[in-house]
Structure 1
């Protein structure tokens, strides 16, 4: 007897347990899941059924004791729970009996897994399905012949209902790919049976270009289009899942004075919409550009895409770290953004958000029709994208370069307390839009997001720790400090530093973020060359690497330790208002010490750090709102673009592949 690690139902053997996990809990080897064995309190974990089945047969050949200690996995919110688990936990069920097997659905899931793979094109899918169909046909023909021969030898009548049912099973298996053998049929099946949310092509305008017709290159008008995945349709798709319904009905609000998520911040507390609808959806939007070709090649910027994603702040933060819970809603060519503007591209998204705000969307929650409201609560992006969407000048050499306050760039070099500067707000933003003097105000147009009833670009934008600190201030200050230690004070050499970086044990959780060697420290403008996760790892472990070389009172080392303290606070999973006040003072001390040590100006990202304490009070812990996981969402799209190598309408291809991938999640 074996016990299901999900619902504790008892089954006879390993095969039936695997079938139960596949059919009842909708697990498959294509998903990112973890199974904890649990038989006789066994804590071994497995990520595919083959290794799990081998473990059960080898280590638990005859499990009698069903004392289990199961830990729920965090795959992607998709597996449904087994209903009536308590009623059937003491019953020996034969899962395989009286179950009608849907061969066509099995084939569709096979096709979806292949097509959503980043290294597989549509032509590959069609070719593999054709070969699989031929292989299955040969095998089933042979098996059917042998079965008929055996039945005849036992004088079984061909018109017997059981024999006819068996022959129908052979025929169903042979024809399982018939409803999917063309692109049209496959897309139709995905939409009608697997709830695929198909991207919608939205027309923008025409451009003059050339196209080849009958071997002749001619001038033609080409339609400019972008892809929109309806946020309303995506929400309906998500709320078909019972676990999503359960999670969104819960509250993440802290019962004490601590801030653990967006809903603990002042902006949520003072929002008129969330006071009226406390359980409304908290939608966080992210925008960024991604390069689909070689960034050093000749096609740079030609096929550059802009992507807009959203996630729900209602669900716990541990689920929002999974890429499956970031949803694509806009994909467009970056050149079209420059030609037609954000107003045209964001229009369908803003229309849907207005519907969510005013009328709401009807969904099924716990078997009952419920009206679901929601609004855009937060916009995150890197500084350049934030300025683009916000209507600000995109250059950071402007006199008033900050999108949060009106400090002059000269005053930003000595004012480190943002209480001493005028903050941007709805009133002065509107005045600057009407004034229409970008060199003076740094505002060139009104942001399209301001058309929403409960959002404003000066109130609902959060700074990004990853771009500001881990990819800006951190590498700069580390370069200056290491140059001083290696070449001015000569405390250690560059080779000693790299030797310790390479030989240090960073622990299992940090091995993927192990820092790279630091080369050409004296001559290179960017000798650090770490990505954001590597930079955080280096900041975390640098005291263990070189701390024994440095005197405790060294001013350069004190500057680094101040930066470390700042990082500890802004990346903390839980924050308090007292911690925010400490952060405010640490940033002031850090910037003051930097100006006294180095004869160079602060960079704009230094100034953005002066607002972090205020953002923490407004929005909660900054580490849960940063762009790190959103940036990770770009990787599959980039890989797929390089594999497909068809850039005629690359946004349509990538958007559709992304939506098929979401079927797996």
Structure 2
């Protein structure tokens, strides 16, 4: 037999002597890790007794004896045994080498087994994460893979064994290879059924299963041999444990650390770049100690239709999502970082009320704020408190969940103030005397008269420790501006300009020929000849935004600047530019207040129309800007994109028995794959097609050499030139325009000529534009090419978002900013 400590061949009768003499009388009964030394095994055992049981059961000649502290041999016997062992070690060094090789083989086999299991786990988790792939098909794929493994590996194993025989391989080598084939053949065994799979992923901590919660009972008709009967049926909603989800998310690589780094960075900035710099958050944060880790959480609610809304089986579901606005900017628009909290049928709100439906959410959010979550980090566990700070949604979603009147036709439709509907027709600015507060809100709830108060019921979320609906200054600029104010305004402008300055065919020809630029993914659809008879343009919100932004360049040369309707369009553009800003100062709130007043006044005087309810929402924008920061961060667009993740599994299955549970499971399986992959939340830098170039061959080399990073300049003869690169989630291509800087003369622009890199150090080689100034008529900067070159890194740009070069009908070059500077 072999000693499991030194792998020396010893006789059974010499066990006690060997442990006493060669291993210092070690007490093997107290060992906590024993590796079986037998050929092709190498298994680990926590105790000597468990090792003995294994050897007796698995190996034909274990020859194990009890190691006892009594009946020890004499001193002479010990000396003789040591001499024999030393002589054996000297004469049989090859045996020791073979034992070492065997140990290495065992380790390799164990690592191979773990590697195969890891790869199979990720494959199955990835199959489950495909939203359009039904879960029932995963079972079919796994069965087919298992069959394929057996059919392919069996002849391969026979061929390998024949080759090993011809090469004179040892028995241990045969066994080692055979075990590797067995591992691959049975690689899906632990994930054989869906029950095993979900159980396995749950135990790993990656799958956080949704939980059904009871809403209440309803009477349903059941047919039997005795006729129709009424039975009680319990209805359910789906909740997902937010504490577990957020804990796992913050434990992902770079998650909590990048958040804390970003929070510290915000403290050094004077401009408002994030909600965490705003008074609204500071008042909530002040309830905690300075040393506490406290993060804001935004809650979003909306309804979505998972069937054909015009069909007989239409089914509307209510989805509640949460997000962390404190994430670094490059992570905020990623819908993977938006998490589902509740899913239920919308009609249940009418049956049971918001307090019942949202009670699990309220319980989870309260726990997150009062108790926090314990996040494991490299510096040890840290407690993180999460405060519900804003309720987001479109106007209907916020008003319904907030308990306000849901119709814009109500006498008091505004959730911010108690201005009568008739007064909003001509209101130019906010009346602070009519603003809602907690005291007046409670009085309005107690009055219970929606016609005179504008409140149907109390908001269910008001019971949260740091939340009240009257201080919820969340703005939905996408629906207010893109799908509201812009439609009304542009319809009036078009009705006036057609046919006074041009006709529909002329405008459509200009639209079809216009070059929107490399940065614009949306295109403006052609106008229908009967557009003037409609209440809105037949465009989506994103298409309307593009239309407004480029309308001046498309057709502005045919309309005089003095035209009052064109001045209305220019004023609309100015409102858009401020509302789209991502970096704010307090002065911008004052500017916005003046712009809204001027815009509403001009709209009334030019169009002879009344202000619609979405125009009234604009008067509250300056206050919301001061309280909560940039509107773009509160946009509902990422959350509406999240709807697609919920709709896909609903469309992938034909069952509608419990579609909410189906969707909830699929969403959590998506998260399971992300957690199992354990990838950083920070986006990777991606490179497009590349060529090796020498910077010396560039005509502009001498002009850019002094500004090139040293790591690139150190070996300028071999650099990579890329067609495109994606940095922090933003795509850059040659031909895009960079916003380099702002000087006394205005903004400085440059066009990307080359994108070069070396060892992931990236630099943009660009050609400066000559900026002639801002053209008020078309709301764009007129530019032209220059012969001056330079280079810059992404971190040094004034605004990291690239721009496009656009052309007027006279082929003049213009750059349109995404938002006001």
Determine if contact 1:520/1:527 at 8 Å carries over to the other structure. no
- Counterpart Cα distance in 2 of 1:559 and 1:616: 23
Q: Give 2:294's match in structure 1, choosing from 248, 260, 280.
A: 280
- Counterpart Cα distance in 2 of 1:274 and 1:255: 22
- Counterpart Cα distance in 2 of 1:346 and 1:248: 28
Determine if contact 1:361/1:372 at 8 Å carries over to the other structure. yes
Deviation by residue 1:341-385 (Cα, 9 ceiling, x = unmatched): 111121111112212222222221224121111110111110111
- Residue correspondence of structure 1 range 602-617 to structure 2 within 5 A: 602-617=611-626
Q: Give 1:151's match in structure 2, choosing from 164, 172, 182.
A: 164
Partner of 1:442: 454
- Counterpart Cα distance in 1 of 2:139 and 2:111: 33
Partner of 1:361: 373
Q: Give 2:515's match in structure 1, choosing from 490, 501, 505.
A: 505
- Counterpart Cα distance in 2 of 1:549 and 1:275: 60
Q: Unmatched 5+ residue regions in structure 1?
A: 1-94
SS of 1:209 mapped into structure 2? strand
Partner of 2:586: 577
Partner of 2:735: none
TM-score normalised by L of structure 2: 0.66
Alpha-carbon shift at residue 167 of structure 1 (Å): 1.6
Determine if contact 2:318/2:345 at 8 Å carries over to the other structure. yes
- Counterpart Cα distance in 2 of 1:445 and 1:106: 53
- Counterpart Cα distance in 2 of 1:362 and 1:523: 59
Return closer, same or farther for 1:497/1:275 CA change in 2, 3 Å cut-off.
Answer: farther
- Counterpart Cα distance in 1 of 2:453 and 2:183: 69
Alpha-carbon shift at residue 579 of structure 1 (Å): 0.8
Alpha-carbon shift at residue 242 of structure 1 (Å): 2.9
Deviation by residue 1:609-659 (Cα, 9 ceiling, x = unmatched): 111111110011111111011110001222221121211100100111011
SS of 2:381 mapped into structure 1? strand
1:263 paired with 2:263, answer no
- How many residue pairs align between the two structures? 563
Return closer, same or farther for 1:175/1:100 CA change in 2, 3 Å cut-off.
Answer: closer
Deviation by residue 1:438-487 (Cα, 9 ceiling, x = unmatched): 21111121111110111110112401011111011111211221121113
- Residue correspondence of structure 1 range 316-331 to structure 2 within 5 A: 316-331=328-343
1:379 paired with 2:391, answer yes
Determine if contact 1:197/1:237 at 8 Å carries over to the other structure. no
Q: Give 2:233's match in structure 1, choosing from 216, 222, 240.
A: 222
Partner of 1:238: 249
Alpha-carbon shift at residue 308 of structure 1 (Å): 0.6
Return closer, same or farther for 1:297/1:520 CA change in 2, 3 Å cut-off.
Answer: farther
Q: Unmatched 5+ residue regions in structure 2?
A: 1-107, 675-821
Determine if contact 1:311/1:326 at 8 Å carries over to the other structure. yes
SS of 1:373 mapped into structure 2? strand
- Residue correspondence of structure 1 range 17-166 to structure 2 within 5 A: 101-160=114-173, 163-166=174-177
SS of 1:201 mapped into structure 2? strand
Deviation by residue 1:51-90 (Cα, 9 ceiling, x = unmatched): xxxxxxxxxxxxxxxxxxxxxxxxxxxxxxxxxxxxxxxx
Return closer, same or farther for 1:96/1:157 CA change in 2, 3 Å cut-off.
Answer: closer
- Counterpart Cα distance in 2 of 1:210 and 1:139: 55
Determine if contact 2:516/2:523 at 8 Å carries over to the other structure. yes
Alpha-carbon shift at residue 567 of structure 1 (Å): 0.8
Return closer, same or farther for 1:257/1:367 CA change in 2, 3 Å cut-off.
Answer: closer
Structure number with higher relative contact order (C-alpha < 8 Å, ≥ 6 residues apart): 1
Determine if contact 1:483/1:521 at 8 Å carries over to the other structure. no
Return closer, same or farther for 1:269/1:640 CA change in 2, 3 Å cut-off.
Answer: same
Q: Give 1:474's match in structure 2, choosing from 481, 486, 489.
A: 486
Partner of 1:14: none
Alpha-carbon shift at residue 158 of structure 1 (Å): 3.0
SS of 1:319 mapped into structure 2? helix
- Counterpart Cα distance in 2 of 1:485 and 1:254: 49
Determine if contact 2:425/2:610 at 8 Å carries over to the other structure. yes
- Residue correspondence of structure 1 range 537-548 to structure 2 within 5 A: 537-548=546-557
Determine if contact 1:519/1:528 at 8 Å carries over to the other structure. no
- Counterpart Cα distance in 1 of 2:478 and 2:536: 19
Instruction: Calculate the aligned-residue CA RMSD, in Å.
Output: 2.2
Partner of 1:531: 540
- Counterpart Cα distance in 1 of 2:134 and 2:527: 39
Alpha-carbon shift at residue 498 of structure 1 (Å): 1.6
- Counterpart Cα distance in 1 of 2:169 and 2:205: 40
Q: Higher strand share goes to which structure?
A: 2
Partner of 2:600: 591
Partner of 1:415: 427
Q: Give 1:250's match in structure 2, choosing from 255, 261, 264.
A: 261
- Counterpart Cα distance in 2 of 1:637 and 1:192: 25
Q: Give 2:609's match in structure 1, choosing from 580, 597, 600.
A: 600
Return closer, same or farther for 1:255/1:209 CA change in 2, 3 Å cut-off.
Answer: same
SS of 1:415 mapped into structure 2? coil
- Counterpart Cα distance in 2 of 1:588 and 1:663: 50
Alpha-carbon shift at residue 320 of structure 1 (Å): 0.9
Determine if contact 2:495/2:532 at 8 Å carries over to the other structure. no
Q: Give 1:170's match in structure 2, choosing from 181, 189, 192.
A: 181
- Counterpart Cα distance in 1 of 2:511 and 2:342: 41
Alpha-carbon shift at residue 211 of structure 1 (Å): 6.2
Return closer, same or farther for 1:194/1:139 CA change in 2, 3 Å cut-off.
Answer: farther
TM-score normalised by L of structure 1: 0.81
Determine if contact 1:245/1:366 at 8 Å carries over to the other structure. no
SS of 1:410 mapped into structure 2? helix
Partner of 1:10: none
1:517 paired with 2:530, answer no
Partner of 2:346: 334
- Counterpart Cα distance in 1 of 2:498 and 2:657: 52
Partner of 2:503: 493
Q: Which of 1 and 2 has greater Rg?
A: 2
Partner of 1:65: none
Alpha-carbon shift at residue 144 of structure 1 (Å): 1.0
